[in-house]
Amino acid sequence: MKHIDIKKIFDGSLVGQKVTVCGWVRTCRDSKNMAFLELNDGTSLKHLQVVIDKSVMKGYENCTALGSAVKVEGTLVKAVSGNGVEINAENIALLGECPPDYPMQKKKHTMEYLRTIPHLRVRTNTFNAMLRVRSALSYAIHRYFQQNGYVYVHTPIITGSDCEGAGEIFRVTTHDWNDSYKTQKEYYDADFFGQKAGLTVSGQLEGEMAAMAMGKIYTFGPTFRAENSNTTRHAAEFWQIEPEVAFAELPDIIEIAEELIKYIINAVLTECPDEIAFFDERFEKGLTQKLKNVVESEFKVLDYTEAIDILKKSGKQFVYPVEWGCDLQTEHERYITEEVFNKPVFVINYPKDIKAFYMKQNPDGKTVAATDLLVPGIGEIIGCSEREVDTEKLTAAMKERHINVDEYKNYMDLRKFGACPHSGFGLGLERILLYVTGLGNIRDVQLFPRTVGDLK
């Protein structure tokens, strides 16, 4: 069906010409002589007004129901009011009717209700804008890495190892347990892969292997965590971007992370001004200015030990008490970024006992060369570290965590054959999207969210 995107119509270059557009009816106003339809085809947040002269055009009445899919031919003209454009319809055809039980008729639904109809909520302005920002953000992430010489690698989704060592893995199997298996080993031996398998929680370990050949790589794909945490920031399936850089130490990778975040936020500001203005108005007042400030600011780098001092001296009653050695909870992270620094903060040198086995141990014997990037309103958006390359230290860290070293033979080989300092991080796409849109719940930045007890 030859037609023009509504986004293209809005650039004004076709004024005076005959055009054909397709879209869904978003509003309809009827007056004595005229009818006005607003169409949206998903290419733009703005709706296109279609002007129908009732004295000339017959048979338009079946095209006015909200949600109907229609095709309009007409002449594009300057709008009678305002400085936009509109179409004087000459022909209008119904492509798909939309009966009155269409749930999106009502002007305003709550976000909670919309989550019950994920297949239809994409038709709201909010989801329309979110998905366009998500797309632009993803493209900007690829552009940043591609322009800087990184190789995009696809790490496996089905894996036999647990990168984060936290055991929050979804199992992949083709058969159920039954009593004919005498031992777990017998059961796993008989399974598809002949061993225990699961969905990846992170592509890092394989990413490190690729980086040991390609120098600079990044992954960008789905990761899965069976965390039973029902929060606004945890999803069971989320997209992660994981660069891994050979010959980079912690300060180097921090620089890269900061540059990436600024680059992609700037890209969204430039490429999605209507969407950001929409979110600014509807979801987070001052969003545009916040994002501009981030692009211009210098992120704070704060030692974990200093962070603990700040929290202890804050005089605040936190739900989770603060002691050196504790993991920072969202309430702590938000206090630091929102109330103390009011900008993104890299907290560095966490206690080694609360972090993953693969992180490089600092000479103090207590901390690791790791950082989380915390942002106001969200908390952690990036988990990052330099990797441990000393085989003995790495083995000891694995044993302390009851990790079976034999299952990580390939990973250990990286330390044996041409090992070098290297670092990487994981950026959660949904987390940065929450930050960039001001939306408050991870369930609203995914097309079909997967969270505990919810698989629509």
Interface residue list for Mg ion (CB under 5 A) = 383
Residue whose tokens read 């330390």: 415
Question: Which of 40, 200 has the CB closer to ligand 4AD?
Answer: 200
- Say how far residue 33 (Cα) sits from the centre of its chain: 47
Q: Does 162 bind ligand 4AD (CB under 6 A)?
A: no
Minimum distance, C-beta of residue 341 to Mg ion, in the bound complex (Å):
19
Q: Which stretch binds ligand 4AD (CB under 6 A): 170-178, 180-188, 230-238, 299-307?
A: 230-238
Minimum distance, C-beta of residue 420 to Mg ion, in the bound complex (Å):
24
Question: Which of 284, 372 has the CB closer to ligand 4AD?
Answer: 372
Question: Which of 235, 291 has the CB closer to ligand 4AD?
Answer: 235
Residues in Cβ contact with 452 at an 8 Å cutoff, skipping those fewer than 6 apart: 228, 229, 230, 236
Question: Which of 72, 384 has the CB closer to ligand 4AD?
Answer: 384
Q: Does 426 bind ligand 4AD (CB under 6 A)?
A: yes
Q: Does 225 bind ligand 4AD (CB under 6 A)?
A: yes
**Amino acid (1-letter code) at residue 1:** M
Are 276 and 267 contacting, i.e. CB atoms less than 8 angstroms apart? no
- Contacts within 8 Å (CB) and 24+ apart, 268-272: 268/133, 268/136, 268/137, 268/140, 268/436, 269/295, 271/136, 271/140, 272/129, 272/132, 272/133, 272/136
Interacting positions 178-207 with ligand 4AD (CB under 6 A): 202, 204
227's contact among Mg ion, ligand 4AD, none, with CB below 5 to 8 A by partner kind, is ligand 4AD
> What DSSP element (H or E) covers 138?
helix 125-147
| Separation CA 448–CA 182 (nearest Å) | 40
Burial of 92 (0-12, 13-18, 19+ CB in 10 A): buried
Q: Does 242 bind ligand 4AD (CB under 6 A)?
A: yes
The residues that bridge with 50 in the sheet, in sequence order, are: 37, 87
Rg (CA), the chain: 26
Interacting positions 142-161 with ligand 4AD (CB under 6 A): none
Minimum distance, C-beta of residue 396 to ligand 4AD, in the bound complex (Å):
20
Q: Does 425 bind ligand 4AD (CB under 6 A)?
A: yes
- Say how far residue 346 (Cα) sits from the centre of its chain: 19
425's contact among Mg ion, ligand 4AD, none, with CB below 5 to 8 A by partner kind, is ligand 4AD
Are 4 and 20 contacting, i.e. CB atoms less than 8 angstroms apart? yes
Of 364, 367, 369, residue with least CA distance to 346? 369
Report the residue number whose CB is nearest to Mg ion: 383
74's contact among ligand 4AD, Mg ion, none, with CB below 5 to 8 A by partner kind, is none
**Amino acid (1-letter code) at residue 241:** I
Q: Does 240 bind ligand 4AD (CB under 6 A)?
A: yes
Strands 454-455 and 34-40 come out as unpaired
Minimum distance, C-beta of residue 316 to Mg ion, in the bound complex (Å):
23
| Separation CA 141–CA 433 (nearest Å) | 12
Instruction: Provide the token pair at 437.
Output: 């849109």
List the one residue from 284, 388, 430, 444 that touches ligand 4AD (CB under 6 A).
430
Q: Does 235 bind ligand 4AD (CB under 6 A)?
A: yes
Question: Which of 379, 449 has the CB closer to Mg ion?
Answer: 379
Minimum distance, C-beta of residue 348 to ligand 4AD, in the bound complex (Å):
14
Are 67 and 98 contacting, i.e. CB atoms less than 8 angstroms apart? yes
**Amino acid (1-letter code) at residue 302:** L
Q: Does 346 bind ligand 4AD (CB under 6 A)?
A: no
| Separation CA 72–CA 24 (nearest Å) | 11
Q: How far apart are the first and last CA of the chain?
A: 32
- Say how far residue 63 (Cα) sits from the centre of its chain: 37
Q: Does 216 bind ligand 4AD (CB under 6 A)?
A: no
Interacting positions 378-397 with ligand 4AD (CB under 6 A): 380-385
Question: Which of 126, 371 has the CB closer to ligand 4AD?
Answer: 371
Minimum distance, C-beta of residue 237 to ligand 4AD, in the bound complex (Å):
8
Are 422 and 246 contacting, i.e. CB atoms less than 8 angstroms apart? yes
Q: Which stretch binds ligand 4AD (CB under 6 A): 15-23, 52-60, 233-241, 290-298?
A: 233-241
Report the 10 Å Cβ neighbour count for 63. 23
Residue whose tokens read 């993991």: 327
Q: Does 238 bind ligand 4AD (CB under 6 A)?
A: yes
Q: Does 234 bind ligand 4AD (CB under 6 A)?
A: yes
Residues at the contact surface with ligand 4AD, assessed by CB under 6 A:
163-164, 202, 204, 225, 227, 234-235, 238, 240, 242, 380-385, 424-426, 428, 430-431
